[in-house]
Structure 1
Amino acid sequence: MDTSEPRQTPRAPSPIAEQAKADPAAAAVRLRAVTARNPHDAAAQRMLGRVLRQLGRDDEAARAELAAVRATAYDPAMIAAAEALLANDLPGAEARLRDRLARQPTDVAAIRMMAELAGRLGRYRDAENLLRRAVELAPAFTAARANLAIALYRQNRFAEAGEVLEDVLAQEPANASSRNLLAATLGRTGDYDEALRLYGDLTGSFPGHAKLWMSYGHLLKTVGRLEDSIAAYRRALAIEPHLGEVWWSLANLKTVEFTDADIAAMEAALAEGVSGEDALHLHFALGKAWGDRKDAAQSFAHYASGNDLRSRELGYDPAATTQAVDRMIEVFTPAFLAEREGAGDPAPDPIFILGLPRAGSTLLEQILASHSAIEGTMELPDIPAIAMREAKAAGDDTRDWTGALAAMPRERLAELGAEFLDRTRVQRKTDKPFYIDKLPNNWAYAGLIHLILPNAKIIDARRHPMDCCFSNFRQHFAKGQAFTYALDHIGQYYADYVRAMDYYDRVLPGRIHRVIHERVLDDPEAEVRAMLAYLGLPFQEACMQFHRNTRAVRTASSEQVRRPINRDGAGQWQPFDPWLGPLRESLGDLIDTYADRPD
């Protein structure tokens, strides 16, 4: 389905359009008369808006542009397109909208509707282009501008989304949905104080909105206000007791133990047949609740049910990850790497902590971010976004970033490195020389990182596979991490990750520093000193007092890293061992050899 703007067939200009070019003032008078007779003539209203813009009468033009948008609500063709979208008949909606835009290419309401269709398909770049066109044609069309912010947000372009939202709120200060999105955007760019202020205002204005309280709770958790976070989540549940995501958010704090009444409420919600999304969150929360009570059978049953719901929804293909690693090994030969040595941007600023989720990377980030030279940020989406964009630009296979890298000229590597530094600058709130990107999935792009940022440091955070993989099985992620919802998929993913990192060890010896989580638990100071030596930084005692660091932490381990190092998470898979056969089988000998270096 092509959701880009349709090509237009040239049409003969109308007499009034010709007059608008020669004498816009006279055309405005004629168009005023037309729209007075029929205010639902959307084409005339649009033309009147353009003519008034030519005359510099922007306020009047804005009124005409918005009148044109409102007029489309009376147009049978637009009503039919809207009904098709409402029914999720995307091919039908597309056909109607394409026909409409072929005949009326400046109909901003139709352009916005086409952008909505693109968004539903996940084609946010197409949606962005369409919405920019709509805003260009009708600058007063605030709804299209707000949709543009959403399209940018969903592309992880948070700073740009924030700028657009500021424009929206300048026109409509009371726009609650845009204020909510701005709060979320500020949270993603690390502007926590302003985000908290916005959420405080919004929950005051809309005290009965459960999801607002939930979002507020998420941010309170991020900044370490645990009791306030719990209170916000409980407030949300008082409004909507069946809202599964809130129950899971409480469970995901890792510090809340559910009461008998909590468990009864969750079980009752499941028995009443809540929606699939609520159900899977409730299953994960109940898995945690029964696990806390040492009832491994009931706990695993709920985890299995929640994972099964999510796995069927996502349809993860483990072979795709295996093929991606195969392709990387095929392309990243010693000769390939030697030809491109030193070609990237020379900045040493980024420190990448990568590996699997739940492998101890948040702990390492917290330790390093306690050093006076290192700033912690969050899991940044920019490396995968750059890789996928380059792959898409090079061909149809959006997974083959390695092929795109092999084909690009040497100077492009430095451009991509500079782009990463520019994209992530918004996350840097201090003048510290180094900053951390701890997106675990960056392990799949370690070769790209090496080539575009040859002086950046890369740390591989690795944990015992049974602990790490089962911890992923118990974790419901807000997005991504599709491999975590089946035991055999997790094991295969872990094996592919180790295979990739072992290969980098062979062709780039010493380039990536590995930290084994269990060794951090056994001798934390030795491991911290080794990390800092790799980074070329002196040891600081503050790194050993990381739990006193008040920085915001956005991951599921936020509360765990606010305590001293402990072994609470070690061996948690063992009570569940009777059900972990598929995981053991897919891991093979990695259970014993995961920490070994290749020959």
Structure 2
Amino acid sequence: MKTIGTVDEALGETRRLLRQAPGLAATQAREILRNDPANADAWRLLALALRTQADDHGAEEAELEAIAASVHDPRLIEAASALVEGRLAIAERQLRPHLKEKPTDVAAIRMMAELAARLGRLPDAENLLRRALELAPAFAPARANLATILYRQNRAAEAIELLDGLLGKDPANPAHQNLKAAALGRIGSYEEALAIYEQVLARVPAQAKLWMSYGHLLKTVGRREDSIAAYRRALSLAPNLGEVWWSLANLKTVRLDDADVAAMEQALEADPLSDEDRLHLHFALGKALEDRGDPARSFAHYASGNRIRREQIPYDPARTADQVRRAAALFTAEFFAARAGQGCAAPDPIFILGMPRAGSTLIEQILASHPAVEGTMELPDIPALAAQSGGRDGHYPESLAGLSADALRTLGEDYLSRTRIQRKTGRSFFIDKLPNNWLHVGLIRLILPNARIIDARRHPLACGFSNYKQHFARGQAFTYDQAELGSYYRDYVRMMAHFDVVQPGRIHRVIHEALLDDVEGEVRRLLAFLDLPFDAACLRFHENDRAVRTASSEQVRRPINREGVDQWKPFDPFLAPLKAALGPVLDAYPEVPTDA
């Protein structure tokens, strides 16, 4: 081996040797590291040389040493600081040129993945993390990050598989256990998730957010008092944690007392207080003051919470209106007639869709009390298939016109495959109650022509106000501005009216107020639409102890009542923007005006 001058020259020679003589390359890399043990480039080259020689253990050790050395790079230090402080543009300006020069720097790749995730580019973050793990399979932090990204993309089963591998090597890691419990809850494995939370809390009982997550799951399975106790324990540890206050208020059947109101008002004065805590406190105070019959003060808090949230998330009402216009242009009677007999013939899915807070959870609970129907939750799979069919590139729904019969059938089969993990019983039918699926009725009718679709509809002001006062954990970006909310409701009515014309009788509408007035009559009509025999258990839906994940979980565990019907009326003076945006849809309800 020839004598090398500078470190850069030595690294260049090592790269040349790597292609021709990996053993000599490893020797050269070790020589560099003897004089410069923090040289990340040399560690990376050593790892590559050892991989070539099938020394996987040695390669893994070198890869991890390279990552540890990389964090001392000035550019990565500045990028990390920018990420911590939320200065994402600065972080990106540091990371891009660094990765152009050093494309195999795993630490930088992981940081770029974090940046992508912060910007909401989850598929990009996933690809970056997979690349990091190709380069350094033993890099556990990247594997944990990938599990989180998969979970955030509603791919809980894949996240659990990764987490099981991580927990096999670090079984007591609370972060991995917490994420696994959340993922198990996402696929309906509630008892296993609860057991994990209890194990972790026994070891680290001072974690307020962990108590909150535990409380969420207890609420889902109907353990109301235990849920309240978990939320209260979280507040004893973190009195200003707004999400816990909102979680208590969001139980709907719980009324926060004077001491709670005073504590929340005091929390709002805390400095510093994050926007997340502030908006949750506003929503919780809105609910507490509404329960006290103080609509003016209540609405002021609801409005404050909505303003903060609206500033955080993007929403363009023109885009929704355009999607409805384009869907109406594409999905004609002739379009469906030309594709008759195509798609997946399975009749299993029952879709309950419409606006959030329109009574869909009640309908689901009624149907899930029938021995032939299994309730699941709001499943993300139809929007995911829409994106897969051209949604991310802006060509959806027009892209559906070019799909072959085989492609349509495959999409339907993919939906059934993706949702199979949610099915825990042998019942013939299952419910997908994601409200936003109304935007994809055309896709559903194409890929699953025998699936049943139920449109859950509620009075526009009752539904609109219920959405406005609800802080959603994710999605539903249209609910934080009254005018946008009214526009969205009107677009939804327009879309469903279109399908009433081009596919008459294929969608069954349940008017919430009619269901409350005549439960048995509406349930009989609903079951007849589904070709199911009447079963009296559907009238005793409140006795069903199944898990319910939505905000209405406590309400559907009680017999039918009209408590929520007129809750919007004390707030009527504050709802002018909503009324104006609803236009003729409001006056015509429950009918649909011709100019909707």
- TM-score tier, shorter chain, comes to over 0.9
Letter in 1 for 2:401: A
1:196 positional shift: 0.8
Aligned counterpart, 2:498: 503
1:56 positional shift: 3.8
List aligned pairs for 1:24-103, cutoff 5 A. Answer: 24-103=22-101
| Residues 282 and 35 of structure 1, relative CA distance in 2, 3 Å threshold | same
Aligned counterpart, 1:300: 299
| Partner deviation per Cα, 1:239-272 (whole Å, 9 max, x = no partner) | 1111111111000001111111111111112233
Percent of paired sites with the same residue: 60
| Residues 532 and 472 of structure 1, relative CA distance in 2, 3 Å threshold | same
Letter in 2 for 1:228: D
1:129 positional shift: 0.9
| Partner deviation per Cα, 1:470-527 (whole Å, 9 max, x = no partner) | 1111111111111112222222211111111111000000110111111111111111
Q: In structure 2, what is the Cα distance between the partners aligned to 1:87 and 1:577?
A: 42
1:187 positional shift: 0.8
| Residues 182 and 579 of structure 1, relative CA distance in 2, 3 Å threshold | same
| Partner deviation per Cα, 1:37-95 (whole Å, 9 max, x = no partner) | 32212122122223333444333322221111101122223323333434444344334
1:25 positional shift: 4.4
Q: In structure 2, what is the Cα distance between the partners aligned to 1:358 and 1:462?
A: 9
How many residue pairs align between the two structures?
585
| Partner deviation per Cα, 1:559-593 (whole Å, 9 max, x = no partner) | 00111111111111112222222222222343343
Residue 141 of structure 2: which of 128, 135, 143 is its match?
143
CA contact (8 A) 1:366 1:376 kept: yes
The reply to whether residue 521 of structure 1 matches residue 516 of structure 2 is: yes
| Partner deviation per Cα, 1:348-398 (whole Å, 9 max, x = no partner) | 1111000111111001111111111111110011111221332346x3x3x
The reply to whether residue 111 of structure 1 matches residue 106 of structure 2 is: no
| Partner deviation per Cα, 1:423-470 (whole Å, 9 max, x = no partner) | 111111122121111000111111111111111110001111121111
Aligned counterpart, 2:384: 385
| Partner deviation per Cα, 1:312-360 (whole Å, 9 max, x = no partner) | 3335332222222111111112222222223211111111000111111
Q: In structure 1, what is the Cα distance between the partners aligned to 2:420 and 2:294?
A: 47
Aligned counterpart, 1:6: none
Q: Which runs of 5+ in 1 are unaligned?
A: 1-10
Pairwise CA RMSD: 2.1
Greater CA deviation, 568-577 or 97-106?
A: 97-106
Residue 221 of structure 2: which of 216, 220, 223 is its match?
223
Aligned counterpart, 2:555: 560
Instruction: Find the residue that maps to 2:256 and give its secondary structure.
Output: coil
Greater CA deviation, 333-342 or 248-257?
A: 333-342
Greater CA deviation, 419-428 or 217-226?
A: 419-428
Residue 470 of structure 1: which of 465, 473, 482 is its match?
465
Letter in 2 for 1:569: G
| Residues 384 and 12 of structure 1, relative CA distance in 2, 3 Å threshold | farther
Letter in 1 for 2:152: R
Letter in 2 for 1:454: P
Aligned counterpart, 1:152: 150
List aligned pairs for 1:61-460, cutoff 5 A. Answer: 61-272=59-270, 274-392=273-391, 395=393, 397=394, 400-460=395-455
1:142 positional shift: 0.6
1:13 positional shift: 9.3
1:412 positional shift: 2.0
| Residues 486 and 102 of structure 1, relative CA distance in 2, 3 Å threshold | closer
Aligned counterpart, 2:3: none
| Partner deviation per Cα, 1:106-149 (whole Å, 9 max, x = no partner) | 22112111211211211111111111111111110011111111
| Residues 160 and 12 of structure 1, relative CA distance in 2, 3 Å threshold | farther
The reply to whether residue 591 of structure 1 matches residue 590 of structure 2 is: no
Q: In structure 2, what is the Cα distance between the partners aligned to 1:262 and 1:89?
A: 36
Greater CA deviation, 306-315 or 444-453?
A: 306-315
Letter in 1 for 2:506: R
1:413 positional shift: 1.6
Greater CA deviation, 436-445 or 584-593?
A: 584-593
| Residues 20 and 171 of structure 1, relative CA distance in 2, 3 Å threshold | farther
CA contact (8 A) 1:142 1:171 kept: no
Q: In structure 2, what is the Cα distance between the partners aligned to 1:81 and 1:289?
A: 43
Q: In structure 2, what is the Cα distance between the partners aligned to 1:207 and 1:411?
A: 53
Greater CA deviation, 158-167 or 552-561?
A: 158-167
CA contact (8 A) 1:288 1:299 kept: yes
Q: In structure 1, what is the Cα distance between the partners aligned to 2:316 and 2:92?
A: 30
CA contact (8 A) 2:369 2:541 kept: yes
CA contact (8 A) 2:500 2:507 kept: yes
| Residues 312 and 87 of structure 1, relative CA distance in 2, 3 Å threshold | closer
Instruction: Find the residue that maps to 1:493 and give its secondary structure.
Output: helix
Q: In structure 1, what is the Cα distance between the partners aligned to 2:20 and 2:582?
A: 75
Instruction: Find the residue that maps to 1:186 and give its secondary structure.
Output: helix
CA contact (8 A) 2:302 2:469 kept: yes
CA contact (8 A) 1:502 1:598 kept: no
Aligned counterpart, 1:489: 484
Greater CA deviation, 157-166 or 437-446?
A: 157-166
Greater CA deviation, 405-414 or 134-143?
A: 405-414
Letter in 1 for 2:524: R
Letter in 2 for 1:174: A
Q: In structure 2, what is the Cα distance between the partners aligned to 1:582 and 1:94?
A: 40
1:30 positional shift: 4.1
Q: In structure 1, what is the Cα distance between the partners aligned to 2:189 and 2:209?
A: 21
So what's the TM-score if we normalise by structure 1?
0.93
Q: In structure 2, what is the Cα distance between the partners aligned to 1:533 and 1:595?
A: 21
Q: In structure 2, what is the Cα distance between the partners aligned to 1:259 and 1:78?
A: 49
Instruction: Find the residue that maps to 1:515 and give its secondary structure.
Output: strand
Q: Which runs of 5+ in 2 are unaligned?
A: 1-8
| Residues 336 and 528 of structure 1, relative CA distance in 2, 3 Å threshold | same
Q: In structure 1, what is the Cα distance between the partners aligned to 2:469 and 2:84?
A: 35
Instruction: Find the residue that maps to 2:397 and give its secondary structure.
Output: helix
Residue 528 of structure 2: which of 525, 529, 533 is its match?
533
